[in-house]
Amino acid sequence: MTDEKLPTRNENFSEWYNQVVLRAEMADYAPVRGCMIVRPYGWALWENIQQALDLRFKATGHVNAAFPLLIPMSFMEKEKEHIEGLSPELAVVTIGGGEKLEEPLVVRPTSETIIGHMYAKWIKSYRDLPVLINQWGNVVRWEMRTRLFLRTLEFYWQEGHTAHATADEAQAETLQMLETYADFAINEAAVPVIRGRKSEAEKFAGALRTYSIEAMMGDTRALQAGTSHNLGQNFAQAFDIRYLDTNNELQHCWTTSWGLSTRFIGAIIMTHGDDQGLVLPPRLAPIQVVIVPIFRNDDEKSQVMPVVERLRGELSGFRVRVDDRTEVTPGFKFNDWEMRGVPLRIEVGPKDVAKGTLAVARRDIAGKAGRTFVPQAGIAAQVADLLEDIHKSLYDRAIKFRDEHIVEPKDYPELKEIVQNGWAFAWWCGDAACEAKIKEETKATTRCIPLDQSAGSGRCIYCGKPASEKVYFARAY
């Protein structure tokens, strides 16, 4: 870890973010432009995200499977809107084994097509429905402007794909998974999110309707943190996914897809991080507690280390690391673990051993204010309470920041001003032309039309025509 000071978030948020990712050893740049190497610390965070989501998926009846990385180009071309939306981002293999391929193969950008092909083979009767499959994997999208975790050519994610007998069942699945993502974001990552529907211009290519969870980052920009798509019968018709109903008549299925990727790691960093580095939510942090022994000689070491080992055992129910490095100072260790965002640091020195106390520092409270002395007795219960309080503190802080930066503009000039440093919540007529003009003139996009809509109607913030829905406008990652 370099000793050079981090740029502050206020000075240069973008550079602050890049430096935190690199210095905390979350990820590094790959030799191929736009790709990243996820380092062990970053992967450990992703594994905890995976576990938290996987438990939720399985609790709602979903099972995991794996589908191929290479997809025939003809599959991509079967759903016209889908290929039009994705074609600029496709990576295509044309040579295999030293010979030109008869048909080009697309490196998986998403799996609706290959899964649609297989569902058509597997689904024959209403008794086969619903099909509820998720896969964990990597995908490739040829992005022009990239940033570690937020937007890379190759990234890791989960993608759920389901098939249903009715439109109502597909819609219920779509909203259920949106709520699953929101529950994960709030209760595991302490990231407040707004659930909503995407506009026609912003929806997934080939979807009937797209829903998303939208989060505000520490620079007030929006991040689409997870999406859930009701695909209607578009892919079922393109791939002939049909079933015999109870009347022995052939019907097309109704399908959905939904995904959350490693960009959520970026959401965690940008929501909670501070000028000292990462601040990780306790329920996902790879290391929840770091114990730092402090001693100057072998005599003090012989007093301190038995206590440290006892603490390690008592805290075995948590993800604990003992930093027993002797080649660096305690001060270096404190800064190192602050950079890595470990929620709790416990310091054990000879005086603590003598007094039966411990110095405990919370990562969410900077400086001396976050450091207190606690008795050694009952440390496991105290740590559990502190981690719960840190989660609540992070969530409350994030939602306060978000709500302070959402404004309802009285007119369009005010909207243009608001979106430079916040989100505007305004009436919109639903016309794509108004949406496009706002984007062109402000660089702000419609983030989502929230599911929680207040009653009433208003006038479109851009054209003044009658409007029945309010929408969030913001600049986004």
Q: Which amino acid is at 401?
A: F
For 401-454, the pLDDT digits (tens) are: 999 999 999 999 999 999 999 999 999 999 999 999 999 999 999 999 999 988
Task: Find, among 115, 75, 80, the residue nearest to 92 by Cα.
Answer: 75
pTM greater than 0.85? yes
**Which value, to the nearest 10 degrees, does the dihedral of the CA atoms of residues 348, 351, 356, 359 take?**
-40
> 34: phi > 0 → left, psi -120 to 50 → alpha, else beta; which?
left
User: How far is Cα 9 from Cα 219, in angstroms, rounded to an integer?
Assistant: 8
Give the number of other Cβ atoms within 10 Å of residue 369's Cβ: 9
pLDDT of residue 80: 75
Domains (range + CATH), the chain: 13-272 (3.30.930.10), 289-385 (3.40.50.800), 406-474 (3.30.110.30)
- pLDDT for 110: 94
- For residue 82, the 8-state DSSP code is H
Give the pLDDT confidence score for residue 3 in this predicted structure.
64
β-bridge mates for residue 448, sequence order: 472
pLDDT tens sequence across 194-237: 999 999 999 998 899 999 999 999 999 999 999 999 999 999 99
How far, in Å, CA of 452 to CA of 432, rounded?
Answer: 22
pLDDT at 144: 86
Give the span between the Cα atoms of 162 and 182, in whole angstroms. 19
Q: What is the pLDDT of residue 455?
A: 82
Tokens of 295: 């001693």
Ranges of residues in the chain whose predicted pLDDT is under 70: 1-3
Q: Which residue has the tokens 């003598």?
A: 354
**What local confidence, expressed as pLDDT, does residue 159 receive?**
98
Backbone angles phi, psi at 111, to 5 degrees: -115, 15
